[in-house]
Amino acid sequence: MKYFLGDNENAIKTQIYCALIVNLLLTVVQKRLKRRWAFSNLVSFCRIHLFNYLHLMRFLENPERDWQRDDKNLGMLTLFRGAYF
């Protein structure tokens, strides 16, 4: 954390707890992967691809493979079948 988003005690505690939870979750992901990732690279990758639809564990196991979009497992309906935005 470079700076705090809030200035009262509750905002600072909430931001610290969120940072600790994210750190714990990414440590669990790092330990479950067969491929070894540096923690800083894993954090950077997740930050960049936060809003992309991809299976995180599958992509982190084999990042060299060209990943394909799997619309069946997205869990949402598409309005236009052939158009991807």
Which tops the pLDDT comparison, 62 or 9? Answer: 9
pLDDT of residue 12: 92
Question: For the range 54-58, what are the long-range contacts, defined as Cβ-Cβ under 8 Å and sequence gap of 24 or more?
Answer: 56/29, 57/29, 57/32, 57/33
Query: According to DSSP H, which parts of 1-85 are helical?
Result: 9-32, 39-48, 56-61
Which tops the pLDDT comparison, 74 or 48? Answer: 48
Q: Is the pTM of this model over 0.85?
A: no
Cα 50 from Cα 71, distance rounded (Å)? 18
Q: What is the mean pLDDT of residues 47-75?
A: 69
Across the chain, mean pLDDT equals: 78
Q: What is the mean pLDDT of residues 11-27?
A: 92
Residue closest to 56 by CA, chosen among 21, 48, 81: 48
Percent of all residues in the chain with a pLDDT value above 90, rounded to a whole number = 21
